[in-house]
Amino acid sequence: MAHLDIAVLTQDKLRLNLRKFSGGPKAPVLCLPGLTRNAADFEDFAPVAAATGRDVYALSLRGRGRSDHDPDFRNYFPTTYVRDVLAALDQLGLARAIFVGTSLGGIVTMLTAALAPERIAGAVINDVGPELAPEGIARIAGYVGANAAGLVAVAPDLAAAIERIRAVNEVAFPGKDIAFWEKFARRTFAQQADGSWMLDYDPNIGKALLEAGPAPDLWEPFAALKTIPTLILRGAISDLLSVPIVDRMRAARPGFDYCEVAGVGHAPTLTEPDAWRAIQRFISQID
């Protein structure tokens, strides 16, 4: 399915890229990617979600993909992204949307629920919770920090880009073939004029992450989802969202829908059969 690229402005006049997949009049979907990811992560998911009769928007947060980089790295922070998301909804003329947030996108969804719950028709939180397992945090900080130091940002060719992204992520996607990893690399790197491939995000995001320190306590924002239909997805071998954390989430906010996605870690692509079945069933109740 073809998509339309849309530019929206943040309050500080940065241009953010949105991809719109047209589907129909039902409640729209807003897709928010992970820490270093961008709208391209939803290339497979967005068309099948749009086929349910709703428009789907995938947003590249500031510093990612085709969105502007921020000259002040300190703005690479979740509360900034919440303001950006609300500005995007306003400019799109959307009173509310079903939020689909992967990792950082899920954190932004929780924070939005705390600030403006009326804007969220439903929340799909993909492999993240109000607290984060230390193993996953260490792995993510390791590769993002390496890019901030300029160690892995540029690959001389696509084959090298594939090997680099596979080395970091194979723990989460064991047994995948080369076609999977090539697609993954093309969504993670951008080809440069000289033929090299560069990670498609501002390396200062890593600097901001390291300066921010320990992950914040998100239990209060998570509790704000209590009045919002919520689906939690967990990769069955995730190192970021553990089973004990999910159990504590159930105690704090009983009644959310839940799906454990077999054979993957952090984070499911959302097109795995069990993930898509759970999402399709969930969003079908929100029209």
**Same domain? 86 vs 224:** yes
Contacts of 179 (CB under 8 A, 6+ apart): none
**Same domain? 98 vs 170:** no
Is the Cβ–Cβ distance between 264 and 172 less than 8 Å?
yes
d(CA 227, CA 122): 10
Q: Helix or strand or coil: residue 105?
A: helix
**Same domain? 135 vs 176:** no
**Phi and psi dihedrals of 275, rounded to 5?**
-65, -45
| Tokens describing residue 202 | 């501002």
Asked if residue 23 belongs to a domain, the reply is yes
| Of 217 and 12, more confident | 12
Is the Cβ–Cβ distance between 85 and 221 less than 8 Å?
no
d(CA 261, CA 85): 27
pTM reported for the whole predicted model: 0.96
**Same domain? 129 vs 31:** yes
Burial class (CB in 10 A: 0-12, 13-18, 19+), 277: exposed
Is the Cβ–Cβ distance between 232 and 260 less than 8 Å?
no
pLDDT of res. 152: 59
pLDDT of res. 146: 61
pLDDT digits (tens, 9 = 90+) for 54-74: 999 999 999 999 999 999 999
Cis peptide bond prior to 267, omega within 30° of 0: yes
Asked if residue 88 belongs to a domain, the reply is yes
Query: What is the overall mean pLDDT for the chain?
Result: 94
**Same domain? 114 vs 62:** yes
Residue 148 scores a pLDDT above 80: no
**Same domain? 17 vs 99:** yes
Domain that holds residue 252: 4-149+217-283
**Same domain? 168 vs 134:** no
pLDDT digits (tens, 9 = 90+) for 210-237: 888 777 789 999 999 999 999 999 999 9
pLDDT digits (tens, 9 = 90+) for 153-190: 789 999 999 999 999 899 999 999 999 999 999 999 99
**Phi and psi dihedrals of 137, rounded to 5?**
-60, -45
